[in-house]
Amino acid sequence: QVQVVESGGGSVEAGGALTLSCTASGFDLDDYAVGWFRQAPGLEREEGEGVSCINWDGSKTFVPKFLKGRFTASRDNAKNTAYLQMDNLKPEDTAMYYCAAAAYYNDYDGCTYVKHWGQGTLVTVSS
């Protein structure tokens, strides 16, 4: 059974840090790029935004300019797991964060053609 499971969300104060994990089962995660997307409260998932993408072997990462320096993507293919390190969190980072296995990575807008979505993990940042 194909599954993507996120973990590591929670509540933190502004300035804090969290590391999200994304573990795949039923398929090899290294066949895919891995993207992290977030959906702010009140929006549909389709209205969310990509916050990172990492290519299949971890040699390339994409983070939007407005998050560079705070969000870092990584992966451990031996564990079939990818990560999103989030530092200096701000209240506007509050959202449901989704991991996705995607067919393609590019340096301009990250992950495209998502094949498998996780169910999401909630991150709440208080001021």
pLDDT, tens only, 102-114:
999 999 989 999 9
pLDDT tops 80 at residue 45: no
Higher-confidence residue of 45 and 57: namely: 57
Please calculate the CA angle 117-120-123 and round it to the nearest 5 degrees. 145
Check if the beta carbon of residue 118 is closer than 8 Å to that of residue 65: no
Q: Do the beta carbons of residue 4 and residue 117 sit within 8 Å? A: yes
Higher pLDDT, residue 104 or 44: 104
